[in-house]
Amino acid sequence: MNQTDNEIPARGLTAVDPLRHVFEEALGMAPSRNRMEGRAILVVGAGQRPLEGEERPPLGNGRAISLICAREGASVACADVNVRAVEETIELVKKTGSRAMQVLVDVSDPDAIERAVKEAADGLGHLDGMVLNVGIGGPSGLANQTADAWDAALAVNLRSHMLACKYALPLMKPGSSIVFVSSTASMRPGTRIPSYDASKAALAALCRHVALEGENLGIRANVIAPGPIDTPLGREASRARPARSAQRLPFGREGTAWEVAYTTLFLLSHESSFINAQVIVADGGITGLQLR
């Protein structure tokens, strides 16, 4: 699978390097294995933010997830608040030969979430996978936190996920799977943003409840918690807090959005049929190793 101009690997990763655990999958170059043939997937947060000062930024997680699902044969409903960003994702998805549809949604609006889920299910004909990949930050530190900023972050980072699951569960087929995209900031204060860290941590509890209600419907739910990933958002975070990129990293590198996408693909696929209500950490081991 050749890369397109928009499918840029993480900084400094250009070739397979087993010593650093860089393989074709991490570079977005692995061939399709038709793992999602016939599936219909809604990806909420399928666009990505622009990155000032860089002509060819790396892929964001939502765009990579949409592309991997499409490459593996799924039809994809790409949902986002940014029209241009979601149109760019759809253009890339269509190049894979898979079907794509656009869903515009502002997840801070509760009514818009119900409309978006129904639109995706109607447009694709059915729905048997959903990825919830949205989140915003806020003020750094408790001293700068306000009630309004806290509520705004939790509305996007947590409430929207609850509502999406509320509306999706009755529409999803048995054998379906839901994936919440969290962060290792849910496990330690990695961002210094209390609203972000708290809301991402709460996704694990929400996921367990969704999995509990989903079991009788034949629907699974799991969380992926990425660590330092080279995405537009990751590079913005490093600009704001240089210590993020200066820390010692497992295998001497950040992860790629493709690696997040492949983990998400596994959780969506029937290959993970006995994995439910779990948090899967994709961080190269940084939260489990004592790196100095």
Rounded distance between C-alpha atoms, residue 134 and residue 131, angstroms: 9
Copy the structure tokens of residue 15. 């070739």
| 55-62 mean pLDDT | 87
**pLDDT band, residue 10 (cuts 50/70/90):** low
Whether the Cβ atoms of residue 253 and residue 22 lie closer than 8 Å to each other: yes
What does the pLDDT look like over 173-193, one tens digit per residue? 999 999 999 999 999 887 889
Rounded distance between C-alpha atoms, residue 114 and residue 25, angstroms: 34
pLDDT in the model for residue 254: 93
pLDDT at 7 over 60: no
Give 118: exposed, middle or buried? Use CB within 10 Å, 0-12, 13-18, 19+.
Answer: middle
Q: Cα 59 to chain center, whole Å?
A: 11
What does the pLDDT look like over 136-145, one tens digit per residue? 999 999 999 9
Q: Where exactly are the structural domains of the chain?
A: 40-282
Which residues lie across from 42 on neighbouring strands? 77, 130
DSSP class of residue 164 equals H
| 103-128 mean pLDDT | 98
Whether the Cβ atoms of residue 196 and residue 145 lie closer than 8 Å to each other: no
Q: Angle formed by the axes of helices 194-215 and 147-154, to 10°?
A: 30
DSSP class of residue 56 equals S
What does the pLDDT look like over 63-102, one tens digit per residue? 999 999 999 999 999 999 999 999 999 999 999 999 999 9
Whether the Cβ atoms of residue 72 and residue 23 lie closer than 8 Å to each other: no
pLDDT in the model for residue 12: 65
Rounded distance between C-alpha atoms, residue 80 and residue 220, angstroms: 23
Rounded distance between C-alpha atoms, residue 203 and residue 226, angstroms: 13
Copy the structure tokens of residue 272. 């993970």
Residue (of 220, 109, 201, 208) closest to 158 by Cα position: 201
What CATH class is the domain 40-282?
Answer: alpha beta
**pLDDT band, residue 5 (cuts 50/70/90):** very low
| 41-50 mean pLDDT | 94
Helices in the chain by DSSP H: which ranges? 24-27, 61-71, 83-95, 110-124, 147-154, 160-168, 194-215, 232-240, 243-246, 257-268
What does the pLDDT look like over 194-239, one tens digit per residue? 999 999 999 999 999 999 999 999 999 999 999 999 988 778 766 7
Give 216: exposed, middle or buried? Use CB within 10 Å, 0-12, 13-18, 19+.
Answer: exposed
